[in-house]
């Protein structure tokens, strides 16, 4: 969708132009005509997402906003291989998603840490579950991640000893433990108070700049979306469809002062107008 096109005149003559065009334009994530229908307990069919098309480039920070129940989480679950689509195609790195993948990090609204494990053990859990090699290096790796999220002094503490914001940082470190190529974040800061949420957004941006990844981040908050995104995908109410795709061209790193800038306000207004225009129809 946003891939740069190479002018045909620059394509070497020996390589067929069509092949080059496909390779140049292949996005990291490609979702084509994706529909998901749930069977409810009362045996009704509920269309959660309807013919969604979305391409995301490698390394892009893409934020999805939309009304509650429009299928944002469903979209992430399809990408993670946790929910099967009824029709359409989902590809990551050119491969069709058919089952749960181990090259994805998932951060949920609740940190979902295991209370009987220390913070470091929680961070290392994906390596254990995936039976990754180099066990001797795990601890150093985990401590590096805890340092990145500013919690190296809490490695031997337990989740109940940490605040909600700190627990979410552990959740981020855990999601990065197996060095995934894709980070899926489903309202990770939705349960935090407004001030903590703002500082977590700045934290996330810092971590993402240190460890660049393709990110798909779901939120209800327009300012969170503008602060974090390279691109904002706006979805309609259920059945969710993509109704706008807004490129956010603000310099990074962004700090909280940017929230008061005219360009920030302009982007927020644009996203809001798409959300409310749809509601009014």
* Minimum gap (Å) between residue 280 Cβ and ligand ADP: 20
Pick one of 26, 51, 58, 69: the residue that binds ligand ADP (CB under 6 A).
69
Backbone angles phi, psi at 65, to 5 degrees: -120, 150
Whole-angstrom Cα distance, residue 248 to residue 230?
5
Residue 38 as a binder of ligand ADP (CB under 6 A): the answer is yes
Residue 46 as a binder of ligand ADP (CB under 6 A): the answer is yes
| Percentage helix, strand, coil for the chain under 3-state DSSP, each rounded to 5 | 40, 20, 40
Give the closest residue to 126 by CA, choosing from 96, 111, 154, 104: 104
Binding to ligand ADP (CB under 6 A): which residues in 238-267?
A: 238
DSSP annotation string for 16-64 = -HHHHHHHHH--SEEEEEEEEEEEPTTS-EEEEEEEEEEEE-TT-EEEE
Residue 70 as a binder of ligand ADP (CB under 6 A): the answer is yes
Residue 54 as a binder of ligand ADP (CB under 6 A): the answer is no
- Alpha helix stretches (DSSP H) within 102-163: 119-129, 138-148
Backbone angles phi, psi at 156, to 5 degrees: -100, 5
Return the structure tokens found at 100.
């749960």
Residue 45 as a binder of ligand ADP (CB under 6 A): the answer is no
* Binding segment (CB under 6 A) for ligand ADP, from list 1-9, 62-70, 93-101, 254-262: 62-70
| Closer to ligand ADP by Cβ: residue 84 or 129 | 84
Residue 71 as a binder of ligand ADP (CB under 6 A): the answer is yes
| Closer to ligand ADP by Cβ: residue 46 or 191 | 46
Residue 73 as a binder of ligand ADP (CB under 6 A): the answer is yes
Give the chain's end-to-end CA distance (angstroms, integer): 26
* Minimum gap (Å) between residue 45 Cβ and ligand ADP: 10
| Closer to ligand ADP by Cβ: residue 57 or 73 | 73
Residue 236 as a binder of ligand ADP (CB under 6 A): the answer is no
Rounded to an integer, what is the distance from CA 75 to the centroid of its chain?
A: 10
CA distances to 118, 170, 174, 200, 221 from 114, in Å: 8, 11, 12, 21, 28
| Closer to ligand ADP by Cβ: residue 165 or 240 | 240
How many of the chain's residues bind ligand ADP (CB under 6 A)?
A: 13
* Minimum gap (Å) between residue 218 Cβ and ligand ADP: 6
Binding site for ligand ADP (CB under 6 A): 38, 40, 46, 48, 66, 68-74, 238
């Amino acid at each position: 969708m946003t891939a740069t096109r190479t002018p045909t005149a620059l394509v070497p003559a020996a390589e067929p132009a069509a092949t080059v065009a496909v390779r140049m334009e292949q996005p990291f994530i490609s979702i084509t005509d994706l529909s998901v229908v749930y069977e409810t307990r009362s045996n009704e069919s509920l269309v959660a997402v309807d013919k969604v098309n979305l391409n995301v480039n490698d390394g892009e920070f893409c934020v999805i906003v939309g009304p509650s129940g429009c299928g944002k989480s469903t979209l992430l679950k399809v990408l993670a291989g946790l929910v099967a689509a009824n029709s359409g195609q989902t590809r990551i790195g050119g491969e069709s998603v058919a089952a749960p993948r181990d090259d994805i990090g998932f951060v949920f609204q609740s940190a979902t840490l295991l209370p009987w494990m220390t913070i470091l053990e929680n961070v290392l859990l994906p390596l254990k579950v995936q039976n990754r090699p180099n066990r001797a290096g795990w601890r150093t790796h985990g401590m590096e991640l805890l340092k990145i999220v500013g919690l190296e002094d809490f490695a031997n503490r337990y989740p109940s000893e940490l605040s909600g914001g700190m627990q979410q940082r552990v959740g981020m470190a855990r999601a990065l433990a197996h060095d995934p190529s894709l980070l899926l974040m489903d309202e990770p800061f939705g349960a935090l108070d407004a001030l903590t949420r703002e500082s977590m957004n700045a934290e996330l941006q810092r971590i993402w700049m240190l460890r660049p990844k393709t990110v798909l981040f779901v939120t209800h908050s327009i300012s969170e979306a503008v602060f974090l995104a390279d691109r904002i995908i706006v979805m309609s109410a259920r059945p969710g469809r993509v109704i706008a795709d807004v490129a956010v061209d603000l310099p990074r790193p962004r700090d909280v002062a940017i929230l008061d800038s005219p360009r920030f306000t302009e982007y927020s207004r644009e996203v809001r107008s798409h959300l409310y225009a749809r509601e009014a129809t």
